[in-house]
Amino acid sequence: MDTTNLAAFLAIVDTGSFSEAGEKLFLTQPAVSKRIAALEDQLGTPVFDRIGRQATLNEAGKILLPRARQMMELVKGTRQEIINLNSDIKGPLSIATSHHIGLRRLPEILKTYTNQYPDVKLDIRFVDSEASYEMLNRGEIELGVITLSPTKQPNLLPKKLWHDPLVFMAAKDHPLTRLKKITAAQLSEYQAVLPGKNTFTYQIVQDLFDQEALQLQTAMSTNYLETLRMLASIGLAWSILPLTMQEDDLTVLDVRLKGASPARELGYILHPKRTLSNAAQAFVTLLESSKDNTLTQ
């Protein structure tokens, strides 16, 4: 079975349309259609239901999908093992990271890496940490440097690098700053600005409030922590942010909670069944050298 036809098939599944699949593969839409026609000719049956501009998997397509992913992974892994026989560190390296980690944790690592390995072509994708898990499962990236999921994610290998304490913060003139010891009930009386409900950070905050049977009042949400910091600093609401983001325009609130002090674990994720390129292995080595010495495993 032709791998170029399978690649077109998977691109349509991931994007939902022939035209977007063409953009992803740098092909024209007719070229994508031609590849799918060849695939369907090989199989002797259609694999998509075409309704308007949307393409959805039919029963044959649903059977093909997991096998297509396995075949493409096998080809990619075999190619990578052969390439790795040459010990040179060069070629493409696709990684995903969150905006916060990219701004606050990676600059020196990236600077060192590009100086040491100028022949590597870095492809850095700034996405929500949650999206990195999906991208890694689909084989779009080699690793993600992200906020690690509080719960175990199947098929992926997480590696902790940095313990990231979270603290409640508000502008210096916010009413909460006049209180010496703040209960969760008092905190719940004021609006918050927080990441979206689908994020790991929001889940941490929600769990703390659930333990005390309290409701969160969310004024607005964004997944960009730098934006949350700005909104809190102008007095719009309180927020919960990494301790490393505290500066003179924000006051750390002394909030007393029943649960453990909130924190995130930052690190990287790999797919244990995929062979890392030499470029990715070199990047992992640099990441490991930056690990917190106090981080518990």
What pLDDT is recorded for position 293?
66
pTM: 0.71
What pLDDT is recorded for position 297?
40
What pLDDT is recorded for position 84?
66
What pLDDT is recorded for position 121?
93
Per-residue pLDDT 10s for the chain (297 aa) are 788 999 999 999 988 888 888 888 988 989 999 999 999 999 999 999 887 777 889 999 999 999 998 888 888 777 777 776 667 888 899 999 999 999 999 999 999 999 999 999 999 999 999 999 999 988 899 999 999 998 888 889 999 999 999 999 999 999 999 998 999 899 999 999 999 998 989 998 898 889 889 999 998 889 999 999 999 999 999 999 999 999 999 999 999 887 778 999 999 999 988 888 899 999 999 999 998 865 544
All structural domains of the chain, each given as residue ranges with its CATH number in brackets, are 3-84 (1.10.10.10), 91-162+265-289 (3.40.190.10), 164-262 (3.40.190.290)
| DSSP track, the chain | --HHHHHHHHHHHHHSSHHHHHHHHT--HHHHHHHHHHHHHHHTS--EEEETTEEEE-HHHHHHHHHHHHHHHHHHHHHHHHHHTS----EEEEEEE-HHHHHHTSHHHHHHHHHH-TTEEEEEEE--HHHHHHHHHTTS-SEEEEEPPSS--TT-EEEEEEEEEEEEEEETTSGGGG-SSEEHHHHTTS-EEE--TTSHHHHHHHHHHHHTT----EEEE-S-HHHHHHHHHTTS-BEEEEGGG--TTEEE--EE-SSPPPEEEEEEEE-TTSPPPHHHHHHHHHHHHT--TT---
